């Protein structure tokens, strides 16, 4: 499923049915879009929202290294329709262009991620297990690999890439400025955006000389139950004293080495394949 | 080229079969997870384009392995298993059944070999 090269070779035998499917579905989609169109004109970005988002992105991109504390919740929608909220918190350390470390605790596990520019490792503390794989040479590509090939999707990874503005705005169809607010005692600007593909998101950006993201909420409104991911970002340290060892993984001698499983193309993780 | 096309078709057929088999197993898997794992996802699809550019789409390594289609997986092992390291991977021997551990996303799962 991840092998795009097969796409070309499939074409002769598969395009027929695929086209038929597309044609069959298109009238429905067209109808839905037309019905929505009056309420949501395309590409309506409030200039102030755009400016603040740009400032935040440029400021973040300019930080060569930083650490930040994250506390968040992630909704999961059960087959029955019941929505479950999972809590997770962690410390994220980034050194551009190719170092990442995440120490996370949550409802399910205590996990550590290591990326030292060459290898990407996931370590589970409770299970005393780890999986490790060669990784691309940049953080951007490694985040993509983690998401697509390992099924490890960090919803807020868009804030960590080298060009957050492009990553965040790629699918945006509208953005608005909702005014000033306070997050964790810090004055912030509240921004809200809608994407073309069934995702809404909000961002609270620190007001002042350090335009940092302080809170980030993603709503997947195209999924049943509209699950949300929300994270607050605190304790920003823009001049951390990192050592190279922090980003390197040394397996404990009694740890169990396992493989990463490729995301299941059918069930499992929705973010890897279909969307 | 012909060979490739045929292999590809075989793979497609295998995948369809896999979907079918997995479809049959799904209720059990869901019972374990208690969830369909539909979670909020990130805002952008950008990744799929860039990833393919960087990794050529088909790059593989032994560290990332597809769980065999149709293999039964569990999230907890029965009692009395013995660790059995083979080729750097720590298999688990539970009586006559051998499990191979994987990280599936953030979940540690064991697939029957």
Domain membership of residue A81 (yes or no) is yes
Domain membership of residue A35 (yes or no) is no
Beta pairing partners, A76: A84, B39
Quick check: B89 and A130 in contact, CB under 8 A? no
Domain membership of residue B19 (yes or no) is yes
- At A41 the pLDDT is 52
Query: Structure pTM?
Result: 0.73
Nearest to B8 among A9, A201, A264 (CB): A9
Domain membership of residue A15 (yes or no) is no
**B59 has pLDDT over 50:** no
Q: How far apart (Å, rounded) are the C-alpha atoms in residues A86 and A266?
A: 23
- Say if the Cβ atoms of A158 and B22 lie within 8 Å: no
| The token pair that represents B81 in the structure block | 């298993």
Q: How far apart (Å, rounded) are the C-alpha atoms in residues A264 and B21?
A: 13
Interfacial B residues in 15-54 facing A (CB < 8 Å)? 15, 18-19, 22-23, 26, 29-30, 34-48, 50-52, 54
Find chain B residues with C-beta within 8 A of A256's C-beta. Answer: 83, 90, 101
Distance from CA of B66 to the nearest CA of A (A): 5
Domain membership of residue B78 (yes or no) is no
Quick check: A68 and A236 in contact, CB under 8 A? yes
Measured torsion, CA atoms of residues A93, A71, A55, A142, in degrees rounded to the nearest 10: 40
Q: What is the pLDDT of residues A163-220, one digit of tens each?
A: 999 999 988 999 999 999 999 999 999 999 999 888 899 999 999 999 999 999 999 8
Q: Tally the domains of chain B.
A: 1
- Say if the Cβ atoms of A158 and B100 lie within 8 Å: no
The helix (run of H) or strand (run of E) holding residue A160 is none
Domain membership of residue B74 (yes or no) is no
Tell me how many residue pairs between chain A and chain B have CB atoms under 8 A apart: 211
Domain membership of residue A33 (yes or no) is no
| The token pair that represents A216 in the structure block | 């980030």
Distance from CA of A153 to the nearest CA of B (A): 8
- At A274 the pLDDT is 31
Question: Which residue range is the domain that position A107 belongs to?
Answer: 44-257
Nearest to B57 among A3, A108, A147 (CB): A3
- Say if the Cβ atoms of B34 and A78 lie within 8 Å: yes
Question: Which residue range is the domain that position B2 belongs to?
Answer: 1-37
Domain membership of residue B48 (yes or no) is no
Domain membership of residue B44 (yes or no) is no
Measured torsion, CA atoms of residues A90, A160, A116, A106, in degrees rounded to the nearest 10: 20
Domain membership of residue A104 (yes or no) is yes
Q: What is the pLDDT of residues A12-52, one digit of tens each?
A: 455 555 545 444 444 444 444 444 444 555 568 999 999 99
ipTM, interface predicted TM-score of the complex: 0.71
Distance from CA of A261 to the nearest CA of B (A): 5
Domain membership of residue A39 (yes or no) is no
- Say if the Cβ atoms of A144 and B45 lie within 8 Å: no
Q: How far apart (Å, rounded) are the C-alpha atoms in residues A17 and A184?
A: 54
Domain membership of residue B59 (yes or no) is no
- Strand A129-134 relative to strand A172-183: parallel, antiparallel, unpaired? unpaired
Distance from CA of A78 to the nearest CA of B (A): 4
Confidence of residue A60 (pLDDT cuts 50, 70, 90): very high
> CATH no. for residue A167?
2.50.20.10
Confidence of residue B33 (pLDDT cuts 50, 70, 90): very low
- Tokens 């955006």 locate to A193
Q: Rounded to a whole number, what is the distance in angstroms from the first to the last CA of chain A?
A: 13
Give the rounded percent of residues in chain A with a pLDDT score beyond 70: 79
- At B61 the pLDDT is 47
Q: How far apart (Å, rounded) are the C-alpha atoms in residues A175 and A111?
A: 35
Listed in sequence order, the DSSP H helices in A133-222 are: 139-148, 164-169
């Amino acid at each position: 499923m991840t092998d795009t090269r097969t796409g070309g070779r499939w074409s002769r035998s598969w395009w027929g049915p695929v086209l038929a499917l597309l044609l069959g579905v298109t009238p429905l989609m067209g109808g839905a879009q037309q019905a929505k169109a009056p309420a949501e004109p395309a590409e309506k970005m409030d200039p102030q929202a755009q400016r603040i988002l740009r400032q935040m992105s440029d400021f973040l991109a300019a930080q060569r290294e930083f650490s930040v504390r994250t506390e968040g919740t992630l909704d999961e929608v059960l087959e029955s329709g019941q929505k479950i909220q999972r809590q997770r918190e962690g410390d994220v350390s980034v050194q551009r262009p190719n170092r990442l470390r995440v120490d996370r605790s949550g409802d399910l596990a205590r996990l550590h991620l290591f990326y030292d520019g060459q290898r990407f490792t996931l370590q589970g503390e409770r299970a005393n297990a780890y999986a490790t794989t060669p990784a691309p040479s940049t953080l951007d590509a490694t985040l993509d690999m983690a998401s697509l090939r390992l099924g490890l999707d960090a919803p807020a990874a868009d804030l960590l890439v080298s060009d957050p503005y492009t990553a965040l705005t790629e699918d945006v169809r509208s953005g608005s400025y909702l005014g000033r607010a306070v997050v964790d005692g810090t004055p912030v600007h509240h921004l809200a955006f809608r994407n073309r593909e069934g995702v809404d998101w909000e961002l609270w950006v620190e007001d002042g000389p350090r335009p940092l993201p302080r809170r980030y909420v993603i709503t997947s409104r195209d999924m049943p139950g509209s699950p949300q991911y929300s994270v607050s970002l605190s304790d920003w340290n823009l001049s951390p004293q990192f050592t190279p060892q922090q980003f390197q993984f040394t397996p404990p001698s009694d740890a169990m080495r396992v493989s990463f499983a490729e995301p299941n193309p059918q069930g499992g993780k929705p973010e890897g394949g279909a969307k | 080229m012909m060979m490739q096309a045929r292999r590809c078709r075989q793979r497609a057929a295998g995948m369809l079969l896999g979907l079918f088999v997995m479809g049959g197993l799904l209720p059990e898997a869901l019972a374990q997870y208690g969830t369909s794992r539909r979670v909020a996802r990130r805002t952008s699809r950008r990744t799929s384009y860039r990833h393919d550019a960087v990794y050529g789409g088909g790059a593989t390594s032994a560290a990332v392995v597809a769980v065999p289609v149709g293999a039964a997986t569990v999230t907890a092992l029965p009692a009395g298993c013995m660790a059995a390291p083979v080729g750097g991977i720590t298999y688990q021997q539970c009586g006559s059944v051998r499990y191979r551990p994987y990280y599936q996303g953030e979940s540690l799962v064991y697939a029957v070999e």
